[in-house]
């Protein structure tokens, strides 16, 4: 779900995937893995993403956390 939220939020702000990759100082292929849920960003990268998109990390992760069973929290 993180990747979908990331993709939709980025697009709604008119930011290209290449611009995000450049901002994060990573290659486009690596960034695309975040949006396709094939890789999760480090905390440092997650914070940078949230700052660039002017959202909270909670917003980006909100659906990820709601999918964790209550007994695992």
User: The domain spanning residue 31 has which CATH number?
Assistant: 1.10.260.40
Q: What is the rounded distance in angstroms from the CA atom of residue 39 to the CA atom of residue 42? A: 10
Per-residue pLDDT tens over the stretch 10-21: 999 999 999 999
Report the 10 Å Cβ neighbour count for 67: 7
Asked whether residue 13 is assigned to any structural domain, the reply reads: yes
Q: Is the pLDDT of residue 34 over 80?
A: yes
Is 11 inside a domain boundary? yes
What residue numbers bound the domain in which 62 lies?
2-66
Establish if 72 belongs to a structural domain: no
In a domain, 38, yes or no: yes
pLDDT of 64 > 60? The answer is: no
Looking at the 3D structure of the chain, how many domains does it have?
1
Please state the length of the chain. Answer: 73
Query: CA-to-CA distance for 1 and 50, rounded, in angstroms?
Result: 15
How far apart (Å, rounded) are the C-alpha atoms in residues 55 and 73?
24
pLDDT band at 26 (very low <50, low <70, confident <90, very high): very high
Residue 71, in any domain of the structure:
no
- Tell me the average pLDDT across 25-47: 97
């Amino acid at each position: 779900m993180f990747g979908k939220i990331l993709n939709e939020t980025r697009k709604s702000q008119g930011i290209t995937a290449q611009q995000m990759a450049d901002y994060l100082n990573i290659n486009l292929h690596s960034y695309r893995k975040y949006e396709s849920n094939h890789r999760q960003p480090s905390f440092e990268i997650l914070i940078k993403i949230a700052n660039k998109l002017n959202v909270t990390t909670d917003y980006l992760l909100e659906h990820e956390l709601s999918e964790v069973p209550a007994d695992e929290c």
